[in-house]
Structure 1
Amino acid sequence: MAHGWEGAVLRLMRGKDYAFTVIGTEQVTERYRRVHLSDGGLLAAVPPHPTMWVRLWFAREGKPHQRAFTLVDPDPVAGTFALEFALHDGVASDWARTAAPGDTIEATLQGTGFDQPEPAPARLLLIGDPASLPALNSLLDAFPATPATIWFETPHPTDRVLPVRTDADRHDLRLVERIDDGGHLLKQVRAELPAVLGDPETAYIWAACDTATTRALAAYLRREAGVPRRRVHALGYWRATA
């Protein structure tokens, strides 16, 4: 598939193209699907890091469209990883619903990275939802001994059983129903975060929800909660539509 002007821009930015092959699938819930893939040489060329992501290419009405997805359990030795899809209407979900062993998908690696917080976090404060669950889990894996409080927004009742990789001894998982287009999540974080924040200089806050909610969270954390910009990572993972 030709990647159009977006692909041309990514090539200019030294993006690297790969082809992944489906080796298995899992239906985690009715609205969440995991696709296992061989990496086409990706992990041998670029060692994995927390929240590592790639751009997958899909065709819609004959035109190329790219969407970003976080690698799940990347294994450089086996050359495999998984991708997880919060299913909704769209070309990526349509592909995931029908993906079968032997299918291939084109991808570009460009833009991924992770800045290790210094000093190491005394506590993780993570705010996410089904779309950002793979990245959230990768952070829990990367800091296995660090206490964490997780606010996890659940747009649908089945999202409450999604596999958040928590340990009861170190992690406090708070499931938050999606109400008022993310307003309920924002209200709950504002009410509860001061009690668990501790020293803002040693906390690490990671927020990845819909773009508008994430923007509001970032403003609150920096302007009202007094968390230094370098201790906050906030990135909108999707855009809510009317």
Structure 2
Amino acid sequence: MNATGLLEVTAVHRPTPRTVRVTFTGEGLGELPAWPDQQLKLLVPPPGRPVRLPAAGGDVLRWYQAYLEIPEAERPVMRSYTVRDRGRDTIDVEFVLHPGAVGPATEWARSAAPGQVLGRYGPDEAYRRPVPTADTVLLAGDETALPAIATLLSEVDNALVFVEVADAAEEQALPNVRWVHRDGAEHGAKLVESVREAVWPQGQVAAWLAGEASTVRALRRHLVGRGIDKSAIEFTGYWRRKLTQDDAPTPDDLADAREKLG
């Protein structure tokens, strides 16, 4: 199966005021195996230009080197997303419309329409993460983690779920979620508070955490302090306040990467 290709928009709708769900079709999607928390990279072309895909195939390192060799004026912006839903030859991806200044992917999503074309790399099983297993599985994140949490809930029937969103209008139809509303509070503060106050059943606890990077770190520190083994915590910072995926990693980012590799 070719890990890279083009995606054409077939439908766009708003499940919540700040979320755009885009349905894509494309060659090779029907051959992709399915798994929970399925990651892929979307390639958004510069305004007024078609998508230019890297010439090289093969593993991700060769592909990424070929991507960097595309002239800057023609090089698409690459952003990571999670597949929200799968059809036989379609995928759904959700874009969160953050307030204030936005990046190129969010700007594209604001005006997405059928017929538009993006590029993709993946989903690639090299990025597949294990589904946590324990007597209780804690799933916690913000609205950017909702697509992954939705797919994990199809596999985990003993989950304790906390999701922080802007307000009640951002809730989606998912089972057993404890919704945490920011209502103007600092991003992540109420999510960390809710998890700290949570009481879970006796037995082994594993955790899956995703969302804004500093919030994920705070949650992980709390859970380790509460006695959960580091090896039982899957964690990913999807985005960083005041930084984009193009910005250099911070010392905290590098520490997280070392922790994962260890």
TM-score (norm 2): 0.73
Aligned residues of 2:165 and 2:179 also touching (Cα < 8 A): no
Alignment of 1:161-176 (within 5 A): 161-163=171-173, 165-166=174-175, 171-176=176-181
1:5-42 Cα offsets, whole Å, 9 max, x none, are xxxxxxxxxx9311111111112222111001114213
Partner of 1:10: none
> Residue 74 of structure 1 is aligned with which of 74, 79, 86?
86
Letter in 1 for 2:22: V
Letter in 2 for 1:199: G
Partner of 2:113: 100
Aligned residues of 2:9 and 2:113 also touching (Cα < 8 A): yes
Alignment of 1:179-194 (within 5 A): 179-192=185-198
Partner of 1:3: none
Partner of 1:154: 165
Shift of 1:176: 3.9
Change (3 A) 1:215 1:197: farther
Shift >3 Å, 4+ stretches:
59-63
Alignment of 1:127-146 (within 5 A): 127-143=140-156, 146=157
Distance 2:140 2:131 in 1: 18
Alignment of 1:17-32 (within 5 A): 17-32=4-19
Distance 2:165 2:147 in 1: 15
Aligned residues of 1:21 and 1:40 also touching (Cα < 8 A): no
> Residue 25 of structure 2 is aligned with which of 18, 22, 38?
38
Partner of 2:260: none
Partner of 1:4: none
Shift of 1:188: 2.3
**Structure 2, unaligned stretches of length 5 or more?**
48-72, 244-262
Partner of 1:232: 233
Partner of 2:202: 198
Shift of 1:56: 0.4
SS in 1 for 2:127: coil
Distance 2:89 2:134 in 1: 30
Aligned residues of 1:70 and 1:83 also touching (Cα < 8 A): yes
1:205-240 Cα offsets, whole Å, 9 max, x none, are 111120001011112212x11112222111111112
Letter in 1 for 2:136: R
Shift of 1:148: 2.2
1:91-132 Cα offsets, whole Å, 9 max, x none, are 112212222222211011245202144xx4322211111111
Change (3 A) 1:43 1:185: same
Distance 2:11 2:134 in 1: 36
Change (3 A) 1:197 1:207: farther
SS in 2 for 1:208: strand
Aligned residues of 1:32 and 1:84 also touching (Cα < 8 A): yes
Letter in 2 for 1:233: E
**Structure 1, unaligned stretches of length 5 or more?**
1-14
> Residue 84 of structure 1 is aligned with which of 94, 113, 131?
94
Change (3 A) 1:20 1:220: same
Letter in 1 for 2:152: L
Distance 2:181 2:195 in 1: 10
Aligned residues of 1:57 and 1:107 also touching (Cα < 8 A): yes
TM-score (norm 1): 0.78
Q: How many residues align?
A: 210
